[in-house]
Amino acid sequence: MAMITSTPMESRASTGRSSRRSGASPSGVSPTRLTRLQEKEDLRHLNDRLANYIERVRQLENDKSSMQLLLEEKEEVAVREVGNVRRLYETELADARKTLDATANERARLQIELTQLQEDHRKLTA
Amino acid at 89: Y
Q: What is the pLDDT of residue 19?
A: 45
Q: If pLDDT is split at 50, 70 and 90, which confidence band does 22 have? A: very low
pTM: 0.50
Q: Is 25 left (phi over 0), alpha (psi -120 to 50) or beta?
A: beta
pLDDT in tens, 43-60: 999 999 999 999 999 999
Q: Over 90: is that where the pLDDT of 10 sits?
A: no
pLDDT in tens, 62-77: 999 999 999 999 999 9
pLDDT in tens, 60-118: 999 999 999 999 999 999 999 999 999 999 999 999 999 999 999 999 999 999 999 99
Of 105, 4, 95, nearest in space to 52 by CA: 4
CA 7 to chain centroid: 36
Q: Contact at 8 Å (CB) between 3 and 49? A: yes
Contacts of 8 (CB under 8 A, 6+ apart): 39, 42, 45, 46
Of 53, 59, 54, nearest in space to 67 by CA: 59
Q: What is the pLDDT of residue 102?
A: 98
Amino acid at 83: G
